[in-house]
Chains A and B, each alone.
Chain A
Amino acid sequence: MLRKYLFVIGLVLVVISSHLAWFNPNSIIQFGDWQYRPDEHAIQGLTSWSTWIGFEDFGSPNPIVFGYPLRGILWSIVVRMGLTYDIATKVTLLIPIAICGFLVPYFVLLRFGFGRISSFVSALIYGSCPYFLILQTGHFPIAFIYSIAPLFFYFNHEYLVTSKPRYWFYLVLLLLFSSAYDLRIIIIIGSLLIFQFFFHFIFRETMPTLKNIVYSFLIVGIYLAGSSYWAFPMLKGLMNEISTLTDRGLFGDNLFSLINAFTVMKWNWTGGVPDWTFTRMPVLNYLWVIPLFAFSSLLYFRRIIRKKEYASTFITFIFFTLLGVFLTKQSSVPFTGFYIWMYKNFPSFNIFREASKFYLITSLGYLFLIAFFLEYNMTQLKKKWKYLFVVMLLIVVAFLNLSPFLSQKIKTTFVSSSIPDDYVVYNNYLKNDKAVGYYRTYWVPVFERWALYNETMPRVSIASMNDRYYRKVLNATTWSSDPDGRAEGIMQSLSLDISDAVIDSTSIRYVIVPIIDSKNFNIDFYKYFGEKNNPNVRQWYIDQLDELPFLKRIEIGTKDLVIYENQNYLPHFHSMSSLLQYDSFQNLDPKYLFSLNTSSQSFDFIVPNEKDVKNIPTLDTHLMFENLEVKSFDNDSVSQRVQSDGKDSSVYIDVGKRVIEYTTQKNKITFFSDSQKNLFADSNLIEKSSDSRQIASVSFNQEEKYFAGIGSRLVSLESSSKKKLLDVLTKPFNLLSSNQSINLIPDGSFSQGAWQDKVGDCNAYDDQGLLGMTVVQDGNEGGNALELRATSHIACTGPGAQKIDGGKKYFFSFDYQSPNGKQAGYYMSFNNDKGTVLNEKLSVANSGWQHFQKAVDVPEDATSFKLVVYSYSLDNKTSIVTRYRNFAMIPLTKVATIDPQYKQNFQKIELPKQDFYNFTYRDLNHDFPNLIYDSSFENGLWSDTVGDCNAYDNNGEVGIALSDVALDGSKSLELQATRHIACTGPGVLPAVEDKTYFFSFDYQSPNGKNAGYYLGFNDPNHTVISERLSINDKEWHTFNKQIKIPQGASSVSLAVYSYSVDGKTNIITRYDNFHFVQLPDLENRYYVVSDPQTNFVDPNSIEFDLLNPTKKLVHIKGATTPFYLAMSESYHPQWQAQMNNDKINGKLAGWVPWVKPDRIADDKHFELNGFLNGWFVEPAELCSNENSACTLNPDGSYDMEMTIEFFPQRWFYLGLLISGTTLAGCLGYLGYDFIKRRKNRKIETTEIITQK
């Protein structure tokens, strides 16, 4: 008897000793993805986990609605019973995982006919598999299915062998139950069960009977019916959310390999504390024992298949093992393109964006193969000690895997956590908070798991919000792939002019900076939000928030937790009497400021993107010249058509933005600011001129040269008695002078010859450099010039180290020219401690001389500098000649600071009523040249050699060609990439800091999915703008963008790409018609506002009741005119604003999906502020026909009852009914079957006794 249970006792001891904390009723288990949830949240599970998740962020459809039975029902029932969330998860997840992980495989193997020792050892290996152990550090739902996985195959096998339907009923019940844990794993299991079904008949060499076929369809039907509760709402409204999840692309190719696949070792398993740096850890040596013994079972193939009942099982699990190994290598060798192909083409495979879930298949395979090996090894080995050696070796491997769990060194979810004191104080504060209704808590940068939240107090992480909402709305560069660069982006969304309004409209009441949870074994999340650049980044966040005027820091008794209150937050539902409409989300901050200053309307806007919002009266605000196209440009003008649909329209011109001019007369430089006369409406000049006014006058020395220092740019001021144009300036600039007699660069005109005897090689990667240097006479102007020649490598020279005064400003200038090169360049270094370097590549636009000048701020501690100039080789064939002359490094003296006296002042000009207006900006001083030479490739390629912009190895297959497929003209640029990324570009383009440029090109691909560009600026921050543009057809598309050049930049490098896909297909991406055009100062200068002249009034009051996250009751009182209703929940087209009458209430009408409610039409439901819900409510129309949801007041106003409902929830209710009925039916059948069998057994027993 003891021997019978010896192995079970052994396994139970292993389970308990390795999972001690899980069996402790008072422990709090949390780590990584497995979060602690407050009981106040868990108790709301019945409503929180249905079709709409309302407790987090701004609300979102629930893509894991299949988890409702577990999270929604089981957990909330346990918590409602007075127990805690932790107990609920222990009962439903943790303890079953721990026990089933070892005992289920053991008993299943016994039932398959294996011996106790084989079953024990195999179960031990299965339960201690590194993949399973890693799952237990946070991914419990997957771990649960892993732990019971052998049971699915047992039930299937039993049915196939005995044809008793009850086994398939057990199976389908188990599948339905497990679907609530993780649907993806059930899809894997389901596919394997189908293989098992077919393999059974193929390798038993029998045909399935009619009964088998009927039952298989019945079982599939039962499973589908049982899945109605998640399938219905998903099909009827949540498919977009599923697509969002499945279209994210593959993840972590570098984390998978065939080596890991063989050893079932997930990338982060270390044999101790798991690694979370997304690096593939080295495979532990002892793990090779498992595949070695598992595959050794194949040596006994002939012996095993002699037993027919084993043959199909053995072959099935061999197949599983090979399939599992093949899938879990993801995109590594062999057949590197297979996984991505499956991901893109095989239905539902795209739910596996990384391959780790397939480890389950391999593990199942190994379970049976090892059992087979041990079983046949026992009969094969003549000496018992050899067998025992194998058994012991496998047991040792299992215990080596389990050792960090037994010793609790693994920490993570295997030690109990405790709630930090500050969060206890915070949670108590919120619980005792008397505030009625609904508000959000906002966490900078991310929320902490210990804090209280629930359906009426959702938590929001600024980091995820920036990524999901604000990036679109605020056009903020808030989410950097580089964690070190995230902090400033995160704060950007709070520090804009518009931020206060955004925070108010989203019902955010508290803003909290979480503490670093050093008490528990949690990851310091600040390292993902700027801690590397700033070790004290948390304090930086606090300092930034302290500066925000709309937040007030409050003290609630916490030690380190910092809490701010936003007292002006808006309720969950509020009304508006007007609504702005913008053309796009671009420049939202200045548009908001403009609207605020000119119309004093409340902030709430829509942007008509895909949805038609013509039926909603809006105050249309167009920022002119915001969306330019190539056809907008003429020789000296740029035009835009603005649609106004016959509304009363006005133009607003910022007349404060004036042009700065100067004269040099009577030993004085005088600066003037003058109005501009550039804007025409339908060919009529509408920008009125005003008087020129003097803004400054400064004494002038004829001996010196003068400059305007605008940012880091130097503009030479010429002597002129007539007014000379400087620029349109809004910020103060410096007037600088230089004494031309002091030049720190010796012989800058090369009258004595070259600076050095020999040319330098500044890219001597080998000894094959072909370089040259001479001083030549510059024929036209008589002086000398330095000529550098480079066929290969980079030719360079310089005057050597020269003395300089630290802390001073210098005027640095030279001329350069090249007959056949595309760029010149210089390098200037200082001998200060930091080793400051200035380094620029300069664009060579033509073969004439070009002038370069720049103000250089010499570091305080520098005493000398070195200058080097270059000639860059191109193709190792042509000798590239680059010439330089007239070098100057002259001290600059600040003479004065000139203030242009800019003050934003919008002047309103009324326009005649028209359907549309044609506006033209004409500037005779501006001729809009395209700075990209040969932009349509009619004269050839930019470069005959293609670049490899992802040369991670030497096997790049990239190409470049001149294509005959062109949108305009006859040629286009064709980039080809089979492996790596092909790239090319026109080299360096000139750019002026703070100026806006229009950038445009056409692109097309016959077989690729992306085009892409890169703009790299030479500013001190090395700003980069790059995008991948998706391609969904074979047509030409045009990309247009306005780009503001960053401070300190004087040039920009452009590159375009062709991206390889699978390492085999030659991806062709074509480009044509590039434009890079400097724009005049149009930024935030001209607006057109079209007003429908409606006089809407807000209702007297709006109150609301939150029935559940998918249904809210809104009570509107005293509505006299139409108005706009806002709900601070993220927009979804399936939200409906219904009249709360009999049509949606009642025993059936309250939940069935085929009701026809009186509701606001879909074209009056809009995306408010880019991400919230808004409706245009017309009381008179909605309350017509004596609607019972309305009450007409004596003053003519209406009181209205509205229900705001997320409609897919009704499909969820219907599905839940069908699923529940199916479940009851299955249980009923099994109960009936059980009673029948019991009765039969009794009769058989009676017969035997009678016979005796």
Chain B
Amino acid sequence: MFKLKDYIFTPKDAWKLFRKLFFVVKKSTKRDVVGGVLFVVIAFGLFHFANFTFEGVFFWLFFFVLVFWNLDSRISIGAALVGLIIVAILNAMSNRGTSFVVGWDEKVAVWVYFFLVIGVAKQMIEFKMESRKFTPSKTLVSIKSKEVGRRKRRGVKEVEESMKSIKFEK
């Protein structure tokens, strides 16, 4: 059934949003607070001291948020893929002479590129963090390298297989 209030922002919605935000803030850790402050400081610094454009500030902050709160790199990659589809559509419209989209395909393509670079950079960080998480103890590393030395490539595979059954130190 059609209800008008479902389609407009009512005071009740505002109250709900406020409560939700309050809940998030109340639940936040010290790290979140530090992150929030850093977010504001970086934004201010980039705007006022480095004279970055809104676009530049947005992408730096986006990267900061991804890294600081360890969000999944696929958010950025996903945004890039969606952006690519949009670029393709805008470019097709632009080629057909739709005047209001002219120039926007290039602009969105730049955003896509930034999302990709940020996503890949975050993936590198994830890769390094993941490797660190599963770094075996020194004893195991020495066993592994001896094994590698003796059995060469085939040996490595065997060691890796055997290592799967060993519990790593955190």
Contact = CB atoms under 8 A, between A and B. Distances in A.
Whether A associates with B in a native complex is yes
Interface of A: 161-162, 203, 205, 257-259, 262, 282-283, 285, 288, 291-292, 295-296, 298-299, 301-302, 305, 308, 311, 315, 318-319, 322, 325-326, 332-334
A318 B116 CA distance: 10
A1109 to B, nearest CB: 49
A282 B94 CA distance: 9
Contacts, number: 84
B124 A262 contact: no
B20 to A, nearest CB: 30
Nearest to A311: B127
A203 B127 contact: yes
B84 A334 contact: no
Contact of A318 (B109, B110, B120, B160): B120
A796 to B, nearest CB: 36
Contact of A292 (B85, B95, B126, B153): B85
B168 interface: no
Contacts of A259: 87, 91, 105-106, 109
Contacts of A296: 81
A485 B130 CA distance: 66
B153 A257 contact: no
A333 B110 contact: yes
A645 to B, nearest CB: 62
B116 to A, nearest CB: 6
A161 B156 CA distance: 11
B68 interface: no
Nearest to A305: B127
Please give me the 8 A-B residue pairs with the lowest Cβ-Cβ distance, nearest first: A288-B88, A282-B95, A258-B109, A298-B77, A334-B110, A285-B92, A301-B123, A292-B84
B91 A258 contact: no
Nearest to B87: A259
Given A259-B91, A333-B110, 17 more contacts: A205-B131, A258-B109, A259-B87, A282-B91, A285-B91, A285-B95, A288-B91, A292-B84, A295-B81, A298-B74, A298-B77, A299-B78, A301-B74, A305-B127, A318-B120, A319-B120, A333-B106
Most chain A CB within 10 A, of B74, B91, B114, B153, is at: B91
A356 B88 CA distance: 21
Interface in B115-138: 116-117, 119-120, 123-124, 126-127, 130-131
A880 B126 CA distance: 70
Nearest to A282: B95
12 contacts: A258-B106, A258-B110, A285-B88, A285-B92, A288-B85, A288-B88, A298-B116, A299-B77, A301-B74, A302-B126, A319-B120, A325-B113
A312 to B, nearest CB: 10
Contacts of B92: 285
Contacts of A203: 127
Contacts of A315: 124, 127
Contact of A288 (B77, B87, B106, B131): B87
Given A259-B87, A305-B130, A334-B113, A298 B124 contact: no
A302 B106 CA distance: 30
B123 A298 contact: yes
A257 B130 CA distance: 36
B84 A295 contact: yes
Most chain A CB within 10 A, of B110, B112, B113, B126, is at: B113
Given A203-B127, A257-B106, A333-B110, A322 B84 contact: no
Interface residues of B, number: 33
A741 B107 CA distance: 70
Given A162-B153, A205-B131, A299-B78, A258 B113 contact: yes
Contact of A332 (B84, B106, B114, B160): B106
Contact of B84 (A205, A283, A291, A305): A291
Contact of A295 (B80, B88, B114): B80
Contact of B95 (A257, A283, A319): A283
Contacts of A295: 77, 80-81, 84, 116
A1041 to B, nearest CB: 43
B32 to A, nearest CB: 25
Contacts of A283: 91, 95
A795 B92 CA distance: 48
A416 B77 CA distance: 47
Contacts of B110: 258, 333-334
Interface in B76-103: 77-78, 80-81, 84-85, 87-88, 91-92, 95
Contacts of B117: 322
B126 to A, nearest CB: 7
Most chain A CB within 10 A, of B77, B127, B153, is at: B127
A296 B119 CA distance: 12
Most chain B CB within 10 A, of A282, A285, A334, is at: A334
Interface in B1-22: none
Contacts of A322: 113, 116-117, 120
Contacts of A262: 84, 87, 109, 112
A315 B78 CA distance: 18
Nearest to A319: B120
Nearest to A258: B109
Contacts of B109: 257-259, 262
A203 B131 CA distance: 10
A298 B119 contact: yes
Contacts of B78: 299
Contact of A334 (B91, B114, B124, B131): B114
Nearest to B56: A334
B15 to A, nearest CB: 38
A308 B116 CA distance: 22
Given A298-B119, A333-B110, A292 B127 contact: no
A325 B160 CA distance: 37
A332 B126 CA distance: 31
A282 B112 CA distance: 19
Contacts of B131: 205
Contacts of B95: 282-283, 285
Contacts of B116: 295, 298, 322
B67 to A, nearest CB: 16
Most chain A CB within 10 A, of B85, B119, B120, is at: B120
A1240 to B, nearest CB: 15
B25 to A, nearest CB: 31
A1219 B123 CA distance: 44
Contacts of B126: 301-302
A188 B130 CA distance: 32
A326 B116 CA distance: 12
